[in-house]
Structure 1
């Protein structure tokens, strides 16, 4: 085991954990003030639930060597057969356990943006338990397990996904679309203004996501090495280029660039570079960033044309951005792999198969899970409660003490 690699992945694990509170601010700022606490609590629910399941059986079903190409085995249930001396490559296996846990947490949290303002918190908790168990753990095994009896996408198809374009972003994006269809449209959607209540929150969240994403991507090299350095540079470059691509679409369409567009463009670039960070050049990252930023900016309008209420554009940013990044590897991967570098169309085909397989599996299973929850305990709050505000109904709280702000002091007496 290498102490430098160990220290680096420990730091990256903390960076990736920070992404989920960052996502809470990003999503929380985008909703109305009466729903911001619920939006942030959905991310914190993932922070609470997923680590427990990961230790009990998630890590084993994802990475235990006794499984097959579809699912890991049972040798690591409760993290059994792991000690402080057990190695995963050049790092302690416990470090790898912690690093991969952070990926599982944020993948579930990403889905919540598609159903903002209208989901029962208890139903979301139940959904988190079921979804991470039957969707995320198997898909993560397919994509991330390169060991003996590893996942079919990683070891048989040999598609490239450096840090989770399929397992995290396409997976979460397809799930978000399925849940948006199950829960239906928000009350007043397309009629009432549903503007972000706190754009500084959105920018803060995007900044925290960007900061944490260096651990997400560069940490996926699983060592302090040149591959990690390439992933870090590509992550910075692609994200900046994606902001420019998104703002260019806004400038051409609306004659103005917005802060919401800049933040969303950053996340779109981060999503797209995730699968490609270790296989394309910095110049390729510029191209990938511009393309993903522009396409995601256009894709967020699809919900109005197709009639699904994806509240915070999980489909437009994560599903579309994940597809763009995963598929463009087939064109941009260096070393005689990508189509533009003499690699032919073989890798492109593998990328398409991996992307579509994860999309289909996640969408179908999520739709079934969502329907079952809706038919049993109900997934959506009542319309009257939705109008009042989900924070008061589900959490007995409000984000802002409006009464105190408006009438908390006695102006005449100065009390």
Structure 2
């Protein structure tokens, strides 16, 4: 042990980690300026930033340690930094898991464990969760022992007690659909809601932690994960490759990866030249656009056309009709949605219709919505909004409201002062008044009854 300690240059490792930490933090801090103008997407892939981190040439666990350090600081502060650190860590781990899955698939079939394969799939879909093969194996062993203990008491002659460990292989399992239906039925009886997942050539279940809502982009993440996993197993399936390229192109993410996929498709099947050529052209245009991003228009509250806008970014609101809690991250003096959307959402039934300010809001249930001013009111007891995109727009939560990050503040340069004033009027002013009243009530009462 002493020899191994002497062989390690701890000072050199410390300096390396410190340098990597500075470089990682600098990369993460620069992302918001580059990605803020992109269309928000829960499943957004920061391929460019991942490439930058890889180019540092440092051990990946150094990078991961720094990203985890950023994520584990004060949860109410540095929200934008945490937002992009989480995305990079998510992507970094997914790429590592894909490599492990490819190694797993290269093994002879008789050496492949169904459990290990399932764990790798689970890890890929939930890369930030603490899921390990060792941990799952321990839990399964505990379950087996509990079942055997019960059998020994109630049925000592049961065949399961005579089976050697590992007797059942993955091929001895019943039909996946039958097992899933049975499992889903049992879970419903126990009050857990599961639903089937449309996975290529398979039948899976997923646990529904939250209700679906308008604007939820989680389906894109599930589709992307499914395609990535399927193409790891069948890397030359042209139709799925084309679907993957179209998905990435539609989401506007990782355009360099799209070009690689399209090149692979062209090599596999030259007859796809038309579809490939179209996507190549528009992907190159997207890359060029990213090099010269358009500066978003400023929205100043002092402008005459914005005189009816009552609320500002960062305020915690409550929807009067639907009852949901949300935070404002943008606004328009009038509804800017299409006529089809206006008709579908019955906007004309509102007292002021579409001719009133509308607000972009992040909702507690994880959705993004567009709400009319007459349907919103300041929350009586402001609380944090548990939405995955909060860090994209805000840097901090301070008791009653969110603080816009640098990019959002550039778009709404006069909203910060407006938000502070509104917060003081709604909450701090009220607390001051109540405090004065408390002090007054503690003073001797010199008045007489009238």
Structure ranking higher in helix proportion: 1
Higher alpha-carbon Rg: 2
Same fold (TM over 0.5): no
Q: What's the TM-score bracket when you normalise by the shorter of the two chains?
A: under 0.3
Name which structure has the greater RCO, CA cutoff 8 Å, separation 6+.
1
TM-score (norm 2): 0.22
Structure ranking higher in strand proportion: 2
